[in-house]
Structure 1
Amino acid sequence: MKKILISALVAVLLAACSDKQASVSTTAEPDTLAGTYIANMGGITTPVIKITGSGAQTEIFTLVDNQWVKSPGPVQNVSKDEFEKAGNVKVDGTFIAVRSGMTFVAEVPKGWSDGKFTTKTGFFTVYPAGPLELTRQ
């Protein structure tokens, strides 16, 4: 049975907390993910993540108590290979992902799925309860 997407992303996020920089790809363009992302949280559509800047000036923010809070640490690219190996999953097509601290945002082909999770928009993040579909505004 295929590992659940959350297992893959927990591994990716734990790797982000380590000091190991060797597995971090610099080929993806984090600024291609710039924008504000909304999600349906319990039937309510709300902003949850904002990515600003480009290149080395890219920053990721999460909405906490109606305030945008910067994720700690530098923004790092997550390579397609790193993601696929960590979760024993396959992504056919475009894959762009970044992480900072415990925040992870990815763009995959629309309709990509892993087990019970399928993304219609092509954007997702991971919350403690599992993957969460995002829509870029």
Structure 2
Amino acid sequence: MIMFKYFAAVLFALTLAACGDRAASSDPLVGSWGVKDGDVVKPFFKVEKNGEHYTISEYKDGKWQPENEQVAAMTPADLEKVSGRKESGDVVGVQGNSFAFFRVPVGWSVPGFASKTGYVLFVPIKLVDMQRVAS
């Protein structure tokens, strides 16, 4: 009887793992992101990925609204334009015409800004530290 319980528990765990969205969970940018306001993280935008293509939705009036902006993966040269210096390591980020969203080491900094979370949104002339919004 004990062996059956262990077998059932393992089977259940494998079933849950198979149901997960592997593509989204392996991409550190995919998810809902917000800005901390006091003790609350207010939803701001959502990154989704379908195959190799990213899409962005903005949180407006209490719901997610897809943006029509073209979104592409960032290159090291793109991040260099934002930071003003050559960056070491891989670049994980997406960008459009009006924004760039990227992952950096916690503590990454440029004059006047230091990331506490490692996820940064760059909009014209401003860097914003982003936090994942609980689903």
Q: What is the TM-score of this pair, normalised by structure 2?
A: 0.65
| Rounded Cα–Cα distance in structure 1 between residues aligned with 2:72 and 2:121 | 15
Match of 1:38 among 34, 41, 53: 34
Deviation at 1:98? 0.4
1:73-120 deviation line (CA, Å, top 9, x unaligned): 322111012221454223333421102342321111111000110002
1:33 partner amino acid: L
Which aligned runs of 4 or more in structure 1 are off by greater than 3 angstroms? 41-44, 54-57
Q: Is the 8 A contact 1:75 1:100 kept in 2?
A: yes
| Rounded Cα–Cα distance in structure 2 between residues aligned with 1:90 and 1:71 | 30
Q: Is the 8 A contact 1:72 1:100 kept in 2?
A: no
Bigger mean CA deviation after superposition, 64-73 or 80-89: 80-89
Unaligned runs of 5+ in 2: 1-26
Deviation at 1:43? 6.2
| Rounded Cα–Cα distance in structure 1 between residues aligned with 2:80 and 2:123 | 19
User: Equivalent residue of 1:52, what SS?
Assistant: strand
| Rounded Cα–Cα distance in structure 1 between residues aligned with 2:128 and 2:115 | 9
Rg (Cα) greater in structure? 2
Q: What is the TM-score of this pair, normalised by structure 1?
A: 0.65
| Residue of structure 1 in register with 2:104 after alignment | 108
| Residue of structure 1 in register with 2:121 after alignment | 125
Match of 2:131 among 127, 131, 135: 135
Q: CA RMSD in A?
A: 2.6
| Residue of structure 2 in register with 1:50 after alignment | 46
Paired residues in the alignment total: 108
Q: Is the 8 A contact 1:37 1:134 kept in 2?
A: yes
